[in-house]
Chain A
Amino acid sequence: MRLRTLGILLTVAVSATASITSATASASTAPPTTIKLVTHDSFAVSKSVLAEFTKQTGIKVEILQAGDAGAALNQVILTKSNPIGDVFFGVDNTFLGRALDAGVFAKYSAPGLSRVPREYQLDPSHRLTPIDHGDVCINYDKRWFAAQHLAVPKTLNDLTKPAYKGRLVVENPATSSPGLAFQLATIARYGTNGWRAYWRKLRANDVKVDDGWESAYDGDFSQGANHGTYPLVVSYASSPPAAVYFSKPQPKTSPVGTMLDSCFQQVEFAGVLQGTEHAAAARKLVDFMLSARFQEDIPLQMFVFPARDGTKLPAVFTRFADVAASPLTLPAADIGAHRDAWIEQWTNTVLR
C-alpha cells in the first residue's frame, strides 16, 4: 500500500516536472511572430476564432491575464517603460481617461472603425479602439413581482418609493465595476448637484450594498443562486439572456428582466501598447477584433454586445435581451477627472 502510494506520487511528480519543462520549452522556442495580449480575467474568445487569426496572419497570440479590469490596466501603466505585452484589451469608459493620460497606448486608427457607431468612439486621439459595449442595468426577478402583485419599478425615481423599500441590492463603486457604472448612471440622471440627494433617499429606503457583483447577484438577488431576498439588483443588460443560456433545461422566457431606465453604457476598448516591438502584428490583432468573425463571437463569450454595426447576434440575445434605446452616459473626460472624488463622496453619503 505504502509503496503504491509512493509510486503514484512519484509518477505525478515526474509528469509534473516534465510538463512544466515542456511548457517553458515551447514558450522559448516559439516563432518571433508571437504577440502577447494582456487582458483582464473576464476576457474570452472561442479557440477556433483565435486559431483563424493565426491561420490568416501567421501570428500567434499568447493571452496574459492579470486580475480585474482595474488591476490589469494599472499593471500595464506601471510597466510603461518596459511593456509586458503588445496589445491590451479591457479598458472601459470609466478607466478611459486614466488610460489615455498615462500614455501607454500607441496611435492607431483601425479601418474597421468606419463600421462602429459614433457613440462608441470615445477616443478622438485614436489610441483606443472600441470593441464591445454592454449596459449596466437594474435587473428584476419577474416571478417575485408577479407573486407579490407589485408593479415593476419603471424609473430610477420609483426606487425611492416605500413600495420598494429594502428591495434593491447594489455594489460598492469603490470595489466593483457595475457598482461604479450604476453610480455614474445616477450622476448622469440627477446631475453633479443632485445625485447625492438621490442616494440619501435610496439609503433611507434600505438599499443594500455588497462588495461585488457575485455577492449581490448570487448572494442576495432572489433569482440568484442563493435565492436571496432582494428582487432588484444592479447587473447587466445581458443577464436575462445569460440566465437562459446558462440554465439546463433552458426556460422559454427569461426569469430576469431589465429596468431600461437604469441603464448606463459601458464601452470596452483595445489598444496597441506603446513601445511594442511587434507594432504591425499588434495592429492586425486589433483589426481582427473588429472583424465580423470576432465580433460575432463576443456575445456568447463575454456576454456583452459587439461594437460593430450590423453584427449578427445569437438567438438567445435577440430573444431575451432588452436593450435601452439611449442608455445613460457621461463624457469619459468627466469620469476620468472626477471618478475618485465621486467614489469618495458616494462612500460618505451611503456608507458613513
Chain B
Amino acid sequence: MIPSRAARIAVAAVPIAFLALFFVYPVASIVGRGLAPDWRLDLDPLARVVTDASLRHIAWFTVWQATLSTILTVVIALPGAFVLARYRFRGRGIVHALVTVPFVLPTVVVGSAFVALLGDGGPLGALGLDQTLGAILIAHVFFNYAVVVRTVGGLWSHLDPRTEEAARVLGASRWRAFRAVTLPALRPAIAAAAAIVFLFTFTSFGVILILGGPRTATLETEIYRQTAQLLNLPLAAALTVVQLVAIIGLLFVTGRIEGRRGVSLRLRAAKETSRRPSTAGARSFLAANLAVMALLLGVPLLVLIERSFHPPGGYGLGFYRALGEVHAGSTSFVAPVDAIANSVRFAFAATVLAIAVGGCAAVAVASTRRRWLDTAFALPLGVSAVTVGFGFLIALDHEPFDFRGSSWLIPVAQALVAIPFVVRIMAPVLRAIDPRLREAASTLGASPARVWREIDLPIVARAALVATGFAFAISLGEFGATVFIVRPDAPTLPVLIYRLLGQPGPQNFGAAMAASVILMALTALVILAVERFRVGSIGTF
C-alpha cells in the first residue's frame, strides 16, 4: 500500500524515534544505572531475583494473577462485545460509551468504591473478598471489560455476517458456526485485546495494593518499593528486566496468534451487520449481558455517584460545592473548572501525539511482516510507571533534551500509554483490508496515493476515530504514569482526586467523590461525542 521502501521507512521512523527517545532511552538509562553503575555490568541482582524464594514468588504471582485476570476478562466481555457490535437496541450508543468509563477511572477512586462494597462493613462484606485474589480479579475485569468490548467489538461489527449465516444454512449449529467461522476471524482482535489486558493487569498497581492487601506483592509494587522507597536501583533494575522478558515473551506469543490468519476478511459497514434482537433467545442473551454490565460495571460506579450526592444530613450538592471551597487560596487548590481544563488540555496534546505517532506505527506494523515493530510499541504498557518516570529524570536531563520539570512530559507519558491502543485498534483493521481491492484500484489506474485515499482511508478513518476516543479517554484518567514525573503544578482531575483522598474529613472525601463523578461524566461525554462522527463512506465498498 505504501509506494516505496523509502516511504515505508519514513512512516516507521516517526514512531521508532518517539519510542527510542521517550521509552527505550529512559528505561535503558535507569536499568543501566542499576545493573552497570560505573559502566561495569553487575548481574548479581538478577541472580538474586532468580534464587531468592520470595522474589520468585512475586514474579510467579504477577504472571498468575495477570493470566487469570485476562482469561476472566475475555470470557466475560466477549459476549458483551458481541451484543454491542451486532444488536441494534435503544440506548446502545450510551451503553457502549458507558462501559468505557471504568477503564479510565483512577484506581484509587475505584479502589475506594470496591472497598466500600467488599470491605468488612460493606454490603458485600460477607463474601469475605476483602484483601483477596478474588477482589483483585473482580476489579481487573471491571477495569478491562472495555478493552475487549472495544477492540474485539470494533472488528466484530465489521465482519460480514453472511459467512456465518452460510455456515448455518449448511447445517452448522450456532456454536459450531461461531467456532469455525467467526472465532478464527476474530482471533487477531481477541489476541490483541488479551495482550493489552494482560499488560495492564501485569503492571497493575493501585488495585493490587488497595484490594490485595499487604500480603500481595507483584513485580510492579515491588519495583515501586525498591525504587521509590528503598532506592535499591540494582534490584529494581533486575525486576524491570524480568518484567521486560516476561512481556516480550507474551507479546511474541500473542503476535503469533494474531498473525496466524490465512485470508483477508470481508469487512462491512457496522450499519449493515447489526440487527434487532428478533428472537426470544437473542433478547434474553442481550438482557443477560446488559445485566452483567449493570452489576459488574454499574454498581461500583453507582456507589461513587451516590456518595458524591450524599453529604451528611441528606442528599444534595454539598460535596460539589465543597470541591470549590475546601483548600481555596492554597497552592494545592485547583478550582474544578481549572482541573477539568488542565485534564482536557493534557489529554488533547496526548491524543494528538498518540494519533500522529500511533497512526504511523499502525501503518508501519500493518505493512510489514516484522512482528517486533508491533511488540515494541506495546512495551510501554508492560513496564513500570516508576521506572519510566525515574528514567525520564536521569535520561532527559541535558540539551537538546532537557525536559525535566516540563509540562510536556505529561502528555508524552500519557501518549506512551495510549499509542499501543491506537496501534492495536488500527493495525488489525488495516491488515484486514482485502489487498485485491487495492490491486483492482491500481489496475484501473489509480496512483498509490489515490489507492490509499480511496481504499484504505475510509476504512481506517473509522478505526482512527475509535482510537482517538480511546486515547483521549485514557489520557483524561491517566494518573499512574504522571505521578512519578517531576511536574509543575497544573493538577488534572485525577491528581485533584488523589490529593483530596489524602486528607481526613468528610468534606475532602466527598469532594473527591464529586470530582470522580465529574471525571466519569467528562469521559462518557467525550466518547459519545467522538462516536457521533460516523464515517459514511465505509459502506460503499
Binding site for B on A (CB under 8 A): 1-2, 5-6, 8-9, 12-13, 16-17, 19-20, 23-24, 27, 36, 38, 41-48, 50, 62-68, 70-71, 74-75, 77-79, 82, 84-85, 98, 172, 174-175, 209-215, 217-220, 222, 224-230, 235-236, 239, 242-248, 256, 301, 303, 340, 351-352
Contacts and interface: CB of A to CB of B under 8 A. Distances in A.
Contacts of B486: 38, 64-66, 75, 84
B488 A64 contact: yes
Given A24-B407, A47-B331, A66-B486, A229 B120 contact: yes
Nearest to A215: B210
Given A68-B228, A74-B231, A246 B326 contact: yes
Contacts of B509: 218, 224-225
B393 A84 contact: yes
B338 to A, nearest CB: 11
Contacts of A44: 327, 330-333
B474 to A, nearest CB: 16
A167 to B, nearest CB: 12
B467 interface: no
Interface in B299-342: 307, 311-312, 318, 322, 326-327, 329-333, 341
B215 interface: yes
A42 B215 CA distance: 27
B35 to A, nearest CB: 15
Given A16-B344, A46-B330, A209-B214, 11 more contacts: A20-B349, A64-B486, A67-B389, A84-B405, A175-B214, A209-B213, A220-B115, A224-B504, A224-B509, A248-B318, A248-B322
A70 B487 contact: no
A301 B488 contact: no
B393 A303 contact: no
B214 A20 contact: no
A288 to B, nearest CB: 14
A245 B504 CA distance: 9
Contacts of A222: 121
B181 interface: no
B119 A228 contact: yes
Contact of B487 (A9, A64, A71, A247): A64
B507 to A, nearest CB: 4
A-B pairs with the 3 shortest C-beta distances? Answer: A246-B505, A44-B332, A71-B228
Interface in B175-224: 209-210, 213-215, 221
B257 to A, nearest CB: 36
Nearest to B404: A84
Contacts of A235: 504
Interface string B275-292: 000000000000000000
B228 A46 contact: no
A27 B120 CA distance: 49
Nearest to B532: A5
A235 B108 CA distance: 19
B18 interface: no
Contacts of B111: 215
20 contacts: A6-B533, A12-B348, A20-B408, A23-B490, A38-B486, A46-B329, A47-B330, A47-B333, A65-B486, A66-B485, A67-B483, A70-B228, A74-B231, A74-B390, A175-B225, A214-B502, A225-B307, A225-B506, A226-B116, A246-B504
Given A13-B348, A98-B231, A213-B502, A248 B484 contact: no
A226 B122 contact: yes
Contacts, number: 208
Contacts of A85: 405
With a 10 A CB-CB cut-off, give which of B331, B407, B490 has the most chain A CB atoms.
B331
B151 interface: no
A211 B214 contact: yes
B225 A74 contact: no
Nearest to A18: B345
B112 interface: yes
Contact of B405 (A36, A43, A70, A256): A36
Contacts of B213: 209-211
B230 interface: yes
Nearest to A212: B209
B390 A78 contact: yes
A70 B423 CA distance: 35
A217 B330 contact: no
A347 B439 CA distance: 65
B331 A82 contact: no
B311 A248 contact: yes
Nearest to B483: A67
Given A2-B533, A66-B484, A220-B119, A78 B394 contact: yes
A276 to B, nearest CB: 14
B345 A351 contact: no
A247 B331 contact: no
B329 A48 contact: yes
A41 B483 contact: yes
B498 interface: yes
B378 to A, nearest CB: 25
A189 to B, nearest CB: 22
B503 interface: yes
A74 B30 CA distance: 13
B312 A247 contact: yes
A19 B345 contact: yes
Interface string B90-128: 000000000000000000100110011001111000000
A9 B229 contact: no
B77 interface: no
